[in-house]
Amino acid sequence: MRTITWIPGDGIGPEISDATISILKAAGAPLEYEFAYAGGTVFEKEGTYIPEKVFESIEKNKIALKGPIETPIGKGFRSINVELRKKYDLYANIRPIKAPGPIPLKFENVDFILFRENTEDLYMGWEEKISENEAHSIKVITREKSERIVRAAFDYAKQFGHKKVTVVTKANIMKLTDGLFLDCAREVAKEYPEIQLEEMLIDNMCMQLVIRPESFQVVVTENLYGDILSDLGAGLVGGLGLVPGMNKGKDIAIYESIHGSALDIAGKDLANPTAMVLTACLLLDDIGEKECADRIRKAIEKTLSNKENYTKDLGGSLTCSAYTKKIIENL
């Protein structure tokens, strides 16, 4: 039995957390949960967005599953997600882009995995107000962090038999920062002669993803571009409510789906919990419980084979709780 830190989050976080736990228990997942709370609701009670006991739990268990946490736009505190990634050097944000079931899509055979550098780039938050009419944001790219995310992508490609890794930059314009990232990719690629390195500019990559997404296998890129591409990829396979994700460092991993806290539907039993359930499946894979994870994935696929089981975001009418019950029935 493995104990993990469970951070329910804000907005729809508690609802999809409850749904995920119900499914994991029904599937017999060998997990025990240590709950830790962070976010806006906690701030109202304790005056801090991330209490010290959250850090203590993560550092003790080394593995956490986290729900969405609201980040104010244009003001207020910086992202808790970014804070956790920086604190624990969770340098690899990994997001598989694949439809979880036979839902109607414009594209077929979309199945690639995105490796996003998670600790630097513009997301370091190094900003400076020059005047009332001018502000600067500093982009930081280092050789060490570029090499390790590229190597993680190539190691994954080698492990699972992929023949191509696509590196995405804007090196034609940002010749120093993105140029460095691209140079690192070229150097690392020499260590994997059996794997092709494909170079793509971010604007062209966005176009190619909506023209021929099935042609990509493993994609590696910088922090900001990775954030954009992961949402674009989610749109190709049904939306943010269907795509899982994880953040990995040397000895700590935090698993979280890629959608936000959706405050507009919080508490209304309307959220789609699929992304968080699939994120939990990634966690199960990594602790050696792939059989259990695959049973859950098959149950989701069977559930989504019937349009009557769709939640509102997929064009259906099923509630979060009713959808959860259908998955459990299909286990």
Residue 99: per-residue pLDDT? 94
Interatomic CA distance for residues 261 and 12, integer angstroms? 5
The two beta strands, 127-131 and 134-137, are: antiparallel
Mean pLDDT calculated for residue range 152-181: 98
**Residue whose structure tokens are 């009557």:** 308
Three-state DSSP at 278 gives helix
Per-residue pLDDT at 260 exceeds 90: no
Q: Taking the CA of residue 53 as centre, how many other CA atoms within 13 Å lie in the half-sphere pointing to its CB?
A: 9
Mean pLDDT calculated for residue range 230-236: 95
Residue 266, token pair as written in the block: 């919080």
Q: Are 235 and 103 in contact (CB under 8 A)?
A: no
Interatomic CA distance for residues 45 and 40, integer angstroms? 9
Interatomic CA distance for residues 66 and 246, integer angstroms? 10
Interatomic CA distance for residues 267 and 208, integer angstroms? 38
Per-residue pLDDT at 77 exceeds 60: no
Q: Which of 207, 292, 255 is nearest to 94 (CA)?
A: 255
What's the CA angle centered on 140, arms 250 and 166, to 5 degrees?
Answer: 65
Q: Report CA-CA distances (Å) from 22 to 50, 273, 286, 288, 308.
A: 26, 11, 20, 20, 21
What average pLDDT does the chain have?
94
Percent of the chain with pLDDT over 70: 98
Per-residue pLDDT at 175 exceeds 60: yes
The two beta strands, 253-256 and 246-248, are: antiparallel
Residue spans of alpha helices (H) in 88-169: 143-159
Residue 80: per-residue pLDDT? 79
Residue 39 pLDDT level (bands cut at 50, 70, 90): confident
Q: Which of 68, 65, 94, 92 is nearest to 81 (CA)?
A: 68
Residue 75: per-residue pLDDT? 47
Mean pLDDT calculated for residue range 247-251: 95
Largest CA distance in the chain: 60
Mean pLDDT calculated for residue range 86-95: 95
Interatomic CA distance for residues 213 and 316, integer angstroms? 26
Three-state DSSP at 277 gives helix
Interatomic CA distance for residues 237 and 274, integer angstroms? 13
* Backbone Cα Rg of the chain: 20
Residue 25, token pair as written in the block: 């228990």
DSSP character for 210? T
Residue 68, token pair as written in the block: 């969405």
The H or E element spanning position 51 is: none
Q: In this predicted model, what pLDDT tens digit does every residue of 104-117 receive, in sequence order?
A: 888 889 999 999 99
Interatomic CA distance for residues 241 and 275, integer angstroms? 5
Phi, psi (degrees; rounded to nearest 5) at 258: -95, 0
Q: Are 204 and 232 in contact (CB under 8 A)?
A: no
This model's pTM is above 0.85 = yes
